[in-house]
Amino acid sequence: MKISRLQSLLMLLGSVCVGSAAHAAGDRGPGMELGADVIYQLSQDVDFKGGSHASLDDDFGFAVTFGYRFSSRLELQASIDWQNTDYDVDLVTQLGTHRAGRGTMEAVTPRVVVNYNFSDGPITPYVSAGLGWSFIDTNIPQGRPQDVCWWDPWWGYVCGRVQNTKDIDGFMYQAGVGLRWDLGPAYTLRLGYEKHWVDLSEASGTPDVDQFKLGIAYRY
């Protein structure tokens, strides 16, 4: 009698799990997703032509994502990443001398990513691949400071000192793996690892960085 009850309970639990998975999969048909990611980027060293060298600290960033689901398994995602990363730099001047410094670089990277989910169920591993373009402000002074004036709509005529900084940009491509978990009919959690390569003309080779991402999205 106890064995029969146990079998009945296991069958009931199994049917509930299967039904929940089917329900969640049905909710992940074609549609839209809007979400946000927290980015944790690992430290990395970057070598530049001429002998200069930069050591990037590990740091956090933020991303806004918008996606379209073609099916429960195939998704197209657009994203914009923002990151402020501290770094140490050893600059080699035209005279061959070295100048050490520390700063914070600001990076904005619009990206397009394709995700493939391996399962129709609410919890599924996935792989991703994407490309984009990284715009980086190194905040390294370039040229002399200048005194300029401009009209501010709130404060009127304002004057101040500004200084140009070194900007670099380049093509970015990526690959990643992760786990997707659909929470009920409307929300999704993602935990992923991504490798990003940035093609910078000033760098020796192609710099790469490792990122971990934790995100939440609203499905509709």
CATH number for position 193: 2.40.160.20
Cα separation values, 106 from 22, 52, 69, Å: 44, 19, 31
Q: From residue 6, how far is each of 9, 12, 159, 193 by CA, in Å?
A: 5, 10, 80, 41
Q: What is the pTM of this model?
A: 0.78
When divided into structural domains, the chain yields a total of: 1
Q: Are strands 165-183 and 208-219 parallel, antiparallel or unpaired?
A: unpaired
Residue 122 near residue 21 (C-beta atoms within 8 A): yes
User: In terms of residue numbers, what domain contains 209?
Assistant: 2-219
Decide: 213 and 190 in contact? Cβ < 8 Å: yes
pLDDT in tens, 77-113: 999 999 999 999 998 877 778 888 899 999 999 999 9
pLDDT tens digits for range 120-158: 999 999 999 999 999 999 888 887 888 888 888 888 888
What is the H or E stretch that residue 26 is in? helix 2-27
In angstroms, the CA 154 to CA 169 distance is 33
| 59 pLDDT higher than 50 | yes
Q: Across the strands, what pairs with 56?
A: 44, 87
Q: Which residue has the higher pLDDT, 17 or 209?
A: 209
Find out whether 171 and 189 touch, Cβ atoms under 8 Å. no
* Contact present, 159 and 147 (Cβ < 8 Å): yes
Token pair of 117, please? 């989910």
Looking at the predicted structure, is the pLDDT value of residue 53 above 80? yes
Task: Find the angle CA(142)-CA(82)-CA(78) to the nearest 5 degrees.
Answer: 125
Listed in sequence order, the residues at least 6 apart from 16 whose beta carbon sits closer than 8 Å to its beta carbon are: none
Distance CA(25)–CA(125), nearest Å, equals: 14
> What pLDDT was estimated at residue 40?
98
